[in-house]
Amino acid sequence: MKHFKLAGVAVAAVLATAGAQAAPTLLVDRGLPTINLNNVAGADRSNVSWTEPTGSNGEHWVDGDSFTNTSAQTWRLSTIRVWAVEPNIATASLWGGVAGSTVSLLPGAGSISNTSYVGGLDYQGYSGNTYKIQQIDFAVDITLAAGETFQFFLDGTGGDYPSPFSHASNAALSGSPQDGADGKLLWGTINGGSFAVGGEWSSLGNGWDKVSDINVQAFGNAVPEPASFALTGVALLALGLVRRRRGA
């Protein structure tokens, strides 16, 4: 009888582990900076924001960035979180796609909420004016294989420019995890509902004295390997056998 109880505990442990994996986890952490904030930081200022004007031919320009699945497992993303320095933003949308493939408008609008830096600070522009920070969460269902890179571009309405000011920071001065920061930004154009990736650019010498990356967090789960599914199957079978023996 003790043997059966131990088997039941082992099976329960396996099932509990499998259940725990279902809860979304933070897979990419390139969140807001926590130190060297605003003008008081002087030359060490870490926070910045970027937007684009309307193109010369009437096309809509947007800034973006990317993150890479650096694990050995496939990721299934459920939420992508970005931030905007845009107090009047009314709606937010996200364009995205795996690098090398088509970038398209992701379904669903972003969920917008007010936030601030650690300590309750707002974003300060170089003129000294302060602006509210908007946290924007996009519910997604994206599969990203090991080694694949996902490109994303924030768009929206209601701001002072055609696209929102995307929050970015210098990784070395941010004081927070900056997964995948490489000092390279992306830009793209929207014309008639179609998207074209324009290429990479650096903020160093192009509006700022440092490189920067758009802040982003991605939540989801690593897809279990086939061996994990097999282990769970064996556990379920063992549980069934234990139950039958107990009922006999």
Q: What is the mean pLDDT of residues 117-140?
A: 95
Which range (53-67, 188-202, 220-234) has the least confidence?
Answer: 220-234
Q: Does residue 82 surpass a pLDDT of 90?
A: yes
Rounded CA Rg of the chain: 23
Decide if pLDDT at 5 tops 90: no
pLDDT in tens, 105-123: 999 999 999 999 999 999 9
Burial class of residue 8 (count of CB atoms within 10 Å of its CB; 0-12, 13-18, 19+)? middle
- How much is the average pLDDT of 24-51? 97
Q: Given a cut of 60, is residue 37 above it in pLDDT?
A: yes
Supply the mean pLDDT for the chain: 85
Q: Which range has highest mean pLDDT (2-6, 122-126, 168-172)?
A: 168-172
- At 225 the pLDDT is 65
Q: pLDDT at residue 11 above 70?
A: no
Q: Report domain extents, the chain.
A: 1-21+225-248, 24-223
Residue 145: its pLDDT value, please? 98
Average pLDDT in the 178-194 region? 94
Confidence of residue 159 (pLDDT cuts 50, 70, 90): confident
* pLDDT for 21: 52
At residue 17, does pLDDT exceed 90? no
Q: What does the pLDDT read at residue 19?
A: 41
Look at the alpha carbons of 72, 64, 211, 112 in this order and tell me if their dihedral is positive or negative: negative
